[in-house]
Amino acid sequence: MSDIEINDPAENFPKYCDFFKYLLVEELVLEPDYRQIHYGKCAVIGRLCAIPDYFKLENVTVPHLPSAYRLPTGAVSLLLLNFSYDNSCTESLANGAYCIMRGEVVLCNVQKPNSPTLTTRGLHEQLLQLEDNDTVRSTFLEKVQKTHKPALSVWHSSRIDQAEELIQRRLEIRLLCN
Amino acid sequence: MTSLTSDDIEDQLDNFIIRKTNDQSSTYVARHKITNNGQRIHEHIPLLVKDILQSRPDADNKGAFSLFNPTELKYRNCLVYGFVAGRGVHNKSFYNYVLDDGTGTIQFCIFAKPREEKIIKCLYSEAKSLIGSVDTQKYEKISATMTRLLGKAMEYIDGSVISPGCNVMLYGRPNHFRDQIKMDVISFTVDNDRSRSLEIAFTENLIDYYQSHST
């Protein structure tokens, strides 16, 4: 056995989340550091908002959170990709309906539509390729943060009732897992 | 005297409502058996997929499993609620699917029940044929009710009604095979309505249970 430690930089990369982890719209939209954004599958509960060109998922108030952290429903919204009424899995999904969306988190370039999307891991890889220079890295990060926005590539959607209560229970379950 | 507006009445009413305090609410108690040496083995315990995947066959009790979260817990059968994320390879005697409850994914299999299916199908056509008989009017209502009931019963027997994208609640036991944990389903319920009452009730029981266990 050798004592040499092999430092594989890939070990520090975020691991792909292989199950639909329940996340809040706020967690994805309000994260200032894109390197910390969830990588992989997730399930998000929110209110569907149809804007002429695209769809968004608005946050839903979490009733039991301390008032300092509680946002009113519709305060922030997450961009939805690959979603339309035609490929929605339930009937009667309409503007303003509460729903649960399952899919994958990506970083979408909002300045150049239809350009390839980025993931949190992709961001880490690109940062690794840059020189070991903090200023170069931070300018790159700033650039990405200006052009890209977190978005959800939707694989499955369904309309639900009791959205607030469900979010509450799901948060409590996450506490049990820690 | 001025008449009270509805708001005022509500204020008044508020004083008369006795609120149930939290600690008075009942917590879920799973059914369990106690073995000779005083160990508790649970029978209907709500669990998270993450914990089922971490459970190991219990050496002392055949057919039982044990897991740690946050203390040791032994069980034989459990309940899970989740989203059907995928389909495995089906075969003649069982259906395979992948369940995802937001904490992990597990494969589960539902055994086909050809005998029960046949009986229900026979009864179904018998109920249908009542309408064509002599007293059609007399049997119309009964026939409609019977077909509805038997149609519903079929949903609980026939594993092929499940498809990816469904929400299901499963009752079953883990199956440890080649270092992989799968779940053999004893009974299941499909919950695809907009109402999330069942899911909320399940998670509430699960949270109650985990909390009562950790103290």
Do residues B54 and B104 share a domain? yes
Do residues B59 and B143 share a domain? no
Confidence of residue A5 (pLDDT cuts 50, 70, 90): low
Domain count across chain B: 2
**CB within 8 Å: A162 and B48:** no
Partner B contacted by A19 (CB < 8 A)? yes
Q: What ipTM was reported for this prediction?
A: 0.83
Do residues B86 and B139 share a domain? no
Do residues B61 and B152 share a domain? no
Identity of the residue in A102, A163, A177 whose CB atom sits nearest the CB atom of B103: A177
B88-137 pLDDT, tens digit each: 888 888 899 999 999 999 999 998 888 888 898 899 888 888 777 667 77
Count helices and strands in chain B by DSSP H and E runs: 5, 11
Do residues B169 and B89 share a domain? yes
Q: What percent of chain B has pLDDT over 70?
A: 80
Of A66, A162, A20, nearest to B201 by C-alpha is A162
Do residues B105 and B182 share a domain? yes
Look at residue B8 and tell me if it is in a domain: no
A134 forms beta bridges with none
At residue A161, does pLDDT exceed 70?
Answer: yes
At residue A18, does pLDDT exceed 60?
Answer: yes
Q: Which residue has the higher pLDDT, A89 or A161?
A: A161
Beta strands in B7-104 (DSSP E): 32-34, 40-42, 45-46, 56-57, 65-68, 72-75, 78-87, 94-100
B161-195 pLDDT, tens digit each: 888 989 999 999 998 888 888 999 999 999 888 88
Do residues B56 and B74 share a domain? yes
Report the sign of the C-alpha dihedral through residues B192, B196, B198, B199, in that order.
Answer: positive
pLDDT of residue A136: 85
Return the amino acid letter for B121: K
Residue pairs between chains A and B whose CB atoms are closer than 8 Å: 62
Instruction: Report the gap between the CA of A119 and the closest CA in chain B (Å).
Output: 20
Partner A contacted by B191 (CB < 8 A)? no
Name, in order, each residue with C-beta under 8 angstroms of B181's C-beta and a sequence gap of 6 or more.
B52, B53, B55, B106, B174, B175
Instruction: Report the gap between the CA of B47 and the closest CA in chain A (Å).
Output: 11
Q: Which residue has the higher pLDDT, A90 or B7?
A: A90
At residue A8, does pLDDT exceed 80?
Answer: no
**Secondary element (H or E) of residue B13:** helix B6-14
A24-50 pLDDT, tens digit each: 999 999 988 888 999 999 999 999 998
A50-84 pLDDT, tens digit each: 888 889 999 999 888 888 888 899 999 999 998 88
Do residues B138 and B201 share a domain? no
Q: Are strands B180-190 and B56-57 parallel, antiparallel or unpaired?
A: unpaired
B41 forms beta bridges with B33
Chain B residues near residue A45 by CB distance under 8 angstroms: none
Partner A contacted by B197 (CB < 8 A)? yes
Do residues B34 and B96 share a domain? yes
- Pairwise CA distance, residues B177 & B108, whole Å: 13
- Pairwise CA distance, residues A169 & B203, whole Å: 6
Look at residue B44 and tell me if it is in a domain: yes
Look at residue B7 and tell me if it is in a domain: no
- Pairwise CA distance, residues B176 & B53, whole Å: 10
Confidence of residue B139 (pLDDT cuts 50, 70, 90): confident
**CB within 8 Å: B102 and A22:** yes
At residue B6, does pLDDT exceed 80?
Answer: no
At residue A11, does pLDDT exceed 80?
Answer: no
Confidence of residue A6 (pLDDT cuts 50, 70, 90): low
What is the architecture of the domain spanning A16-173? Beta Barrel (2.40)
Full residue range of the structural domain in which residue B144 is found:
114-157
pLDDT of residue B103: 92
Identity of the residue in B103, B196, B210 whose CB atom sits nearest the CB atom of A161: B196
**Secondary element (H or E) of residue B185:** strand B180-190
At residue B20, does pLDDT exceed 50?
Answer: no
Name, in order, each residue with C-beta under 8 angstroms of B29's C-beta and a sequence gap of 6 or more.
none
Across chain A, what does the average pLDDT equal?
86
**CB within 8 Å: A18 and B105:** yes
- Pairwise CA distance, residues B86 & B162, whole Å: 10
Do residues B33 and B127 share a domain? no
Look at residue B18 and tell me if it is in a domain: no
Instruction: Report the gap between the CA of B149 and the closest CA in chain A (Å).
Output: 25
Look at residue B11 and tell me if it is in a domain: no
Place of tokens 């300092």: A68
A107 forms beta bridges with A118, A150
Look at residue B136 and tell me if it is in a domain: yes
CATH at B79: 2.40.50.140
Do residues B94 and B153 share a domain? no
- Pairwise CA distance, residues A99 & A162, whole Å: 10
pLDDT of residue A92: 72
Do residues B82 and B94 share a domain? yes
Count helices and strands in chain A by DSSP H and E runs: 4, 6
B22-38 pLDDT, tens digit each: 444 455 566 677 666 66
